[in-house]
Each structure stands twice: as C-alpha cells, then as structure tokens.
Amino acid sequence: MEKHTAAARRDLEEAKAVAERACANWNRCSVRTWKKTQLKAAEAFDSSAAQTTDRHLVRLVEESRNIARETTAHMDAKSAEALAAVERAARQAFANSGGRATRTRR
C-alpha cells in the first residue's frame, strides 16, 4: 500500500509540475500575443491619426489659398477704385484750372 501511495504521490507531483509549466507557457504565450495585438492596434491608430491629420492639413492649406485669392481680388478691386478716384480728382482739378498746367517755383 505504501508503495502505491508513494508512486501516486510522485505521479501527482509530476502532474502538478507539468500543469504549472503548461500554465506558465500559456501565460507567456498569451502575454506575447496580447503585446503583439496591442502593438498592431497602436500602429493602426497612429497610421489612421496621421492620415486624418494629413487630410485636415490639406484642407487648411486649400482654405488658406482660397482666402488669399479672395483677399487679393478684394485688394485689386479697392486699388482700382482708389485709382479711378484719383484720376477723377485729377481730371476735375485740371478742368477747374482751365486746362492750364500749374508750375511751382523753386
């Protein structure tokens, strides 16, 4: 009986050791798998964030160009109005002077 009990204890200890090694290996594998999955998810997130940022930057640049075009067109229109006003004033001054050019003496 003692012989069988001792053998059973040895078998039980061996089974326990095998089970502990299996659990440790499984834990290491699952941790490695989890880390790989986590890295892949982080890379996918970073890539997606970079693409989104690029799209926003492109839109911002396009919007800035449109604003610059509109501002330039507005300034051109205002410059033309100012030039026309100066020309009108010059013609009016010339007409009021009787068509004579005036000279200033030094």
- The number of angstroms, rounded, from the C-alpha of 16 to the middle of its chain's C-alpha atoms is 54
Cα–Cα distance between 14 and 19 in angstroms, integer? 9
Q: Which residue has the tokens 């970079």?
A: 50
Digit-coded pLDDT (tens) for 1-43: 777 788 878 888 888 888 888 787 777 778 788 888 899 999 9
CA dihedral 30, 34, 37, 42 (to 10 degrees): -170
The predicted pLDDT at position 31 comes to 77
Structure pTM?
0.51
pLDDT digits (tens, 9 = 90+) for 67-100: 999 999 999 999 999 999 999 999 999 999 876 6
The DSSP call for residue 106 is -
